[in-house]
């Protein structure tokens, strides 16, 4: 509880803090996943990190909740969690069995486009400048992946594209359905129920952890505490208090963080294409912020 007192009081400050948490946590998760996958099978890794994170958040939320969620709120949280964690993360993991990380990043970057299309179909007016911001961000992702010669099978690419659609659909439902008023309780139910589904599917599929090294366990703990518990709470806050474009801007920024960490920790080169892509993506995010503030005012 005392930790919450240190949060910024202004809306802009809290949004900025939430964005920083999402950008850094999910951007660094690529490196953590690379280490954890040395010992954990992919779908079981996704399921367990979300299941344990959901349980941990639920314990925290239960201690501070003034009222328990209703059956309808729990059901809705399960639906959103199935979309975000069960379907989206599961299909992404399955697709990456045959699709390279760079190609997957380009496909997943379509989430803001899907989010805006869904919002437009639902009746939310979308300005031309918002479409321009999306186009600029997509262009930056393509430039960031310039020179990747790996071929992505059509089947794997389609599965990952469906994962992006599922994420955008889940984010839209989270902003429309009646969810628990407490952000921590809502997030706990979403990732916990979604993680339970993924874990069950992985177990039925025969995935098991045979032997886990120290580095893989440390990476798993990081993924559970930072990339799941912290990041999903911050993302849930963004869904409630910003536009779909701003909330989904992490899909553009995460690859930049991943590339920066790769350069610092793995010695990967930073090319002129990386610099150009970074500028384009940051301009896209800046435009998203500007249009969100205009809409809010």
DSSP for the chain, written as a single string = -GGGGGS-SSHHHHHHHHHHHHHHHHHHHHHHHHHHTTTS-HHHHHHHHHHHHHHHHHHHHHHH-SSPPPHHHHHHHHHHHIIIIIIIIHHHHHHTTTS-HHHHHHHHTTHHHHHHHHHHHTT----HHHHHHHHHHHHHHHHHTTT--PPPPHHHHHHHHHHHHHHHHHHHHHHHS---SSHHHHHHHHHHHHHHHHHHHHHHTT-------HHHHHHHHHHHIIIIIIHHHHHHHHHHHS-HHHHTTHHHHHHHHHHHHHHHHS-----HHHHHHHHHHHHHHHHHHHHHHHHH-
pLDDT for the residue 149: 47
The pLDDT tens digits for 35-58 are: 888 888 888 988 999 999 999 999
What pTM, to 2 d.p., does this model score? 0.76
Position 2 pLDDT exceeds 70: no
* pLDDT, average across residues 175-204: 90
Average pLDDT taken over every residue of the chain? 81
The pLDDT tens digits for 167-177 are: 889 988 988 89
Q: Quick one: pLDDT band at residue 87, thresholds 50, 70, 90?
A: confident
């Amino acid at each position: 509880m005392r930790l919450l007192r240190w949060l910024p009081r202004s809306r802009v400050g809290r949004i900025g803090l939430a964005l920083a948490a999402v950008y850094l946590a999910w951007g660094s998760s690529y490196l953590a996943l690379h280490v954890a996958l040395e010992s954990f099978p992919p779908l079981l890794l996704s399921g367990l990190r979300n299941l344990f994170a959901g349980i941990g958040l639920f314990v925290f939320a239960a201690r501070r909740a003034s009222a328990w969620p209703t059956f309808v709120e729990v059901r809705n949280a399960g639906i959103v969690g199935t979309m975000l964690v069960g379907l989206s993360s599961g299909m992404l993991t399955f697709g990456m069995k045959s699709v390279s990380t760079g190609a997957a990043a380009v496909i997943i970057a379509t989430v803001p486009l899907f989010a805006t299309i869904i919002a437009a179909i639902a009746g939310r007016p979308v300005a031309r400048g918002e479409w321009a911001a999306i186009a600029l961000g997509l262009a930056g992702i393509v430039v960031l992946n310039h020179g990747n010669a790996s071929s992505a099978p059509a089947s794997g690419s389609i599965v990952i594209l469906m994962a992006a659609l599922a994420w955008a659909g889940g984010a839209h439902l989270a902003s429309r359905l009646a969810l628990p008023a407490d952000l921590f309780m809502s997030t706990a139910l979403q990732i916990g129920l979604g993680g339970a589904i993924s874990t069950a599917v992985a177990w039925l599929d025969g995935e098991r952890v045979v032997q886990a090294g120290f580095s893989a366990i440390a990476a798993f703990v990081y993924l559970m505490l930072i990339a799941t518990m912290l990041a999903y709470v911050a993302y849930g806050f963004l869904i409630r208090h910003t536009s779909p474009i701003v909330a989904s801007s992490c899909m553009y920024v995460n690859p930049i963080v991943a590339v920066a960490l790769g350069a610092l920790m793995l010695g990967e080169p930073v090319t002129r294409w990386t610099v150009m892509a970074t500028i384009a993506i940051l301009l896209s995010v800046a435009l998203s912020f500007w249009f969100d503030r205009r809409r809010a005012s």
